[in-house]
Structure 1
Amino acid sequence: MVRLFTEDLSIVYGEKLIVKDLSVQIPDQKITTIIGPNGCGKSTLLKAITRIIPHHSGSIVLDGKTVSRENTKVLAKKMAILPQTPESASGLTVGELVSYGRFPYQNGFGRLSQKDYEVIDWALEVTGTINFKYLPVDSLSGGQRQRVWIAMALAQETEIIFLDEPTTYLDMAHQLEVLELLQKLNQQEKRTIVMVLHDLNQAARFADYIIALKGGQIVKAGDSNEVISKDVLRNVFQIDAEIGKDPRTNKPMCITYNLLKGEYKK
Structure 2
Amino acid sequence: MGRLYTSNINIGYGDHVIVKNLSVEIPDKKITTIIGSNGCGKSTLLKAITRIISHQSGSVVLDGKDILKENTKNLAKKMAILPQSPESANGLTVGELVSYGRFPYQKGFGRLTKKDIEVIDWALEVTGTIEYKFRSVDALSGGQRQRVWIAMALAQETDIIFLDEPTTYLDMAHQLEVLELLQKLNKEQERTIIMVLHELNQAARFADHLIAMKDGEVVKAGNCEEVINRHVLQKVFNIDAEIGRDPRTNKPMCITYNLVKGENKHEENRIPDHFALSANY
Normalising to structure 1: TM-score of the pair? 0.98
Secondary structure, aligned partner of 2:5: strand
**C-alpha distance in structure 2 between counterparts of 1:178 and 1:4, whole Å:** 24
Gaps of 5+ in 2: 266-281
Instruction: Tell me the CA shift for residue 13 of structure 1.
Output: 1.7
**C-alpha distance in structure 2 between counterparts of 1:133 and 1:214, whole Å:** 41
1:116 aligns with 2:139: no
**C-alpha distance in structure 2 between counterparts of 1:82 and 1:92, whole Å:** 17
Aligned to 1:173: 173
Query: What does residue range 172-251 of structure 1 map to in structure 2 within 5 Å?
Result: 172-251=172-251
Aligned to 1:28: 28
**C-alpha distance in structure 2 between counterparts of 1:237 and 1:124, whole Å:** 38
Task: Tell me the percent identity.
Answer: 78
Q: Does structure 2 conserve the Cα–Cα contact (< 8 Å) formed by 1:94 and 1:135?
A: yes
Secondary structure, aligned partner of 1:47: helix
Structure exhibiting the larger radius of gyration computed from Cα positions: 2
Aligned to 2:87: 87
**C-alpha distance in structure 2 between counterparts of 1:121 and 1:229, whole Å:** 43
Aligned to 1:258: 258
Aligned to 2:140: 140
**C-alpha distance in structure 1 between counterparts of 2:88 and 2:262, whole Å:** 41
Secondary structure, aligned partner of 1:158: coil
Q: Does structure 2 conserve the Cα–Cα contact (< 8 Å) formed by 1:81 and 1:162?
A: yes
Query: What does residue range 34-73 of structure 1 map to in structure 2 within 5 Å?
Result: 34-73=34-73
**C-alpha distance in structure 1 between counterparts of 2:233 and 2:262, whole Å:** 14
Instruction: Tell me the CA shift for residue 263 of structure 1.
Output: 4.9
Gaps of 5+ in 1: none
Aligned to 2:164: 164
Aligned to 2:98: 98
Aligned to 2:272: none
Residues 87-132 of structure 1, C-alpha deviation per residue, up to 9 Å, x if partnerless? 0000000000000000000002111000000000000000000000
Secondary structure, aligned partner of 1:210: strand
Residues 142-185 of structure 1, C-alpha deviation per residue, up to 9 Å, x if partnerless? 00000000000000000000000000000000000000000000
Secondary structure, aligned partner of 2:258: strand
Aligned to 2:270: none
**C-alpha distance in structure 1 between counterparts of 2:263 and 2:235, whole Å:** 12
- Which amino acid in the other structure matches residue 60 of structure 1? V
* Equivalent residue pairs, number: 265
Secondary structure, aligned partner of 1:162: strand
Q: Does structure 2 conserve the Cα–Cα contact (< 8 Å) formed by 1:238 and 1:264?
A: no
Q: Does structure 2 conserve the Cα–Cα contact (< 8 Å) formed by 1:99 and 1:155?
A: yes
Secondary structure, aligned partner of 2:23: strand
- Which amino acid in the other structure matches residue 207 of structure 2? A
- Pairwise CA RMSD of aligned residues? 1.2
